Amino acid sequence: MLDQHHQTDLAKLVSELNDALVAQDADATATLFLDTGYWRDLAAFTWNLKTMEGPAQVRDMARAQLSHIKPVSIALDPRESVTSAGGVTEGWLVLETETGRGVGHIRMKDGKIWTLLTTLHELKGHEEPRGLRRPMGAEHGHDPNRRTWKEKREDEAASLGFDAQPYVLVIGGGQGGIALGARLRQLGVPAIIVDKHPRPGDQWRNRYKSLCLHDPVWYDHLPYIPFPDNWPVFAPKDKVGDWLEMYTKVMELNYWSSTTAKSAQYDAAKGEWTVVVERDGREITLHPKQLVLATGMSGKANVPKIPGQDVFKGEQQHSSQHPGPDAYKGKKVVVIGANNSAHDICAALWEGGADVTMVQRSSTHIVKSDSLMDIGLGDLYSERALANGVTTDKADMIFASLPYAIMADFQVPVYNKIRERDAEFYRKLEDAGFMLDFGDDDSGLFMKYLRRGSGYYIDVGACDLVIDGSIKLQSGKGIERLTETGVLLDDGTELPADLVVYATGYGSMNGWAADLISQEVADKVGKCWGLGSGTTKDPGPWEGEQRNMWKPTQQEGLWFHGGNLHQSRHYSRYLSLQLKARLEGLETQVYGLQKPHHLS
């Protein structure tokens, strides 16, 4: 039960924060934070996704931004309870600035702010037509010039991109582009999504046969339309593809399928892009003001250069090109890699009658799907969470309220519990020769994913095949070269192969920018994804947020959007509001624009 003293202290602290912000007093604001305090802002005060660490960084941001943002109020949300445990008191906030309204979260420790989250949820005068603001739909009365909904949609589709230009062009029509398109549609931002595939959802349908969501359904909803209550916990790829196709129709998105973006150039004087696309064999030139690359969670397929690839007489594929097991019954297959794709492909090939060997060159983090659901996600994304009043939106906000700098501290005990629960499972994997890790600091799956560290698998059954030897394993070995008939490892072992699959991940997203725009622009923007944590495959310097994702970049008018379904859902809100603000000509002074980082 909450001690009334803690609630009173938190209310007093929030009141002091309100007074300091409204007075635009940067020094007074900074003194309210612990020396180890954090303020994470998602577009409300910085027009950026930015975390300030410590009072000095809070002061610098407040000095730069408060006179532009003009805070109106910040207060405890009267609809929510204050909680206290372990010396930390937490509460939900509602906030208002001259421009918008938002939601926040605060953690108090030792009488000061430990963590503060502020987020922009709507722009004043440009609220979404939801709830009481929903459109009437049917137009009652009489009008000889009446046009039906269908006719209006056809008029819009015929005009946008020709007689009228989109304000935003989204390149990539997977879950990221679709989620953003839905947000922009609701905000009244003219936008076109272009995608090379014939139908929405084909990005999923065209992947390997056994692909399914490894994250549970409660974590994976898209904006506005949650999956129905009877949706499977782990949806197969073709079902996801059908859902995405339905979603684009229901949300009335201007989705150009069978369309390839060929080139893009930015005209700084005009403040617009010239983008050439090819749609059904016809070249079309578009002039959006804002260009969003939503070309996938990662970048271009990473195929390692290995001596002998030109002499190997069998077939070679990146995991993204693998069609499934049907053509490989009775064949010998070597899969290089031990990540999600590698395990899924190996398991499907074994089921299809192939002789399959996984080559694990470095250690992999494994977590069983049921343990991830029960321990890793259950408090936020599950039926249990829903029963406790934790909606998807609320879960997203709780997750967002933890600054990346301390998130690992929260994750280590979670994965310690998983290790204890599944100790026998991990012992059997190690006995089979599989190399395991839990990340550089034992913080597990989420931190490895956020840091863009390679080598993790959410186990949905393939590990049992590794344990019993059905999937053959070569671990801790490198690739010397390919021969005409197989793969030669650096210990002299030769693996006969009819097919080699490279489950070797992807490069930085801004490789797409280099191809579409120029290498100069890609270098100007710098690396996408990763936090700069200094851990494996996430070199510094420390950024504190995902590099270049969902926020302004060094290239005016260029944005990156992507991630898993959770990230596509949550961060599309802030990206769409940043774009809407620019469409409406609102002042959007950006604080803390990310400096370019090397692409290594």
Pair 215, 199 in one domain: yes
Measured at the alpha carbon of residue 435, what is the angle toward residues 364 and 451, in degrees to the nearest 5? Answer: 25
337: tokens are 């890699």
Classify residue 375 by its DSSP letter. Answer: I
In a domain, 18, yes or no: yes
CB 235 within 8 A of CB 581: no
Give 510-561 pLDDT, tens digit per residue: 888 999 999 999 999 998 999 999 888 888 999 999 999 999 999 999 999 9
- Mean pLDDT for all residues in the chain: 94
Whichever domain contains 59, its CATH number is 3.10.450.50
List residues bridging with 580 in a β-sheet.
none
In a domain, 65, yes or no: yes
In a domain, 596, yes or no: no
pLDDT reading at 340 higher than 50? yes
Pair 258, 178 in one domain: yes
CB 30 within 8 A of CB 24: no
Pair 288, 350 in one domain: no
Pair 275, 346 in one domain: no
Residue ending a domain, choose from 123, 138, 169: 123
In a domain, 140, yes or no: no
* Rounded Cα gap, residues 556 and 573, in angstroms: 20
Residue 454 is predicted with a pLDDT of: 63
* Rounded Cα gap, residues 197 and 258, in angstroms: 5
Pair 390, 438 in one domain: yes
Pair 252, 336 in one domain: no
Domain count, the chain: 3
Taking alpha carbons only, the member of 266, 243, 254, 9 closest to residue 112 is 9
Residue 209 is predicted with a pLDDT of: 78
Residue 301 is predicted with a pLDDT of: 82
Give 58-81 pLDDT, tens digit per residue: 999 999 999 999 999 999 999 999
Pair 435, 561 in one domain: no
Pair 199, 345 in one domain: no
List residues bridging with 479 in a β-sheet.
489
CB 434 within 8 A of CB 473: yes
Q: What percent of the chain has pLDDT over 70?
A: 98
Pair 184, 215 in one domain: yes
Which domain, by its residues, includes 72? 4-123
How many residues does the structure list for the chain?
600
CB 86 within 8 A of CB 108: no
Taking alpha carbons only, the member of 364, 514, 496 closest to residue 435 is 364
In a domain, 264, yes or no: yes
Whichever domain contains 264, its CATH number is 3.50.50.60
Pair 412, 458 in one domain: yes
CB 406 within 8 A of CB 346: no
Give 178-216 pLDDT, tens digit per residue: 999 999 999 999 999 999 999 999 989 988 777 888 889
pTM beyond 0.85? yes
Average pLDDT on 100-120 reads: 98
CB 510 within 8 A of CB 528: yes
In a domain, 147, yes or no: no
Residue 273 is predicted with a pLDDT of: 98
* Rounded Cα gap, residues 92 and 79, in angstroms: 9
Neighbour-count burial of 455, counting CB atoms closer than 10 A to its CB (0-12 exposed, 13-18 middle, 19+ buried): buried
Pair 441, 520 in one domain: no
* Rounded Cα gap, residues 2 and 83, in angstroms: 6
Residue ending a domain, choose from 123, 140, 164: 123
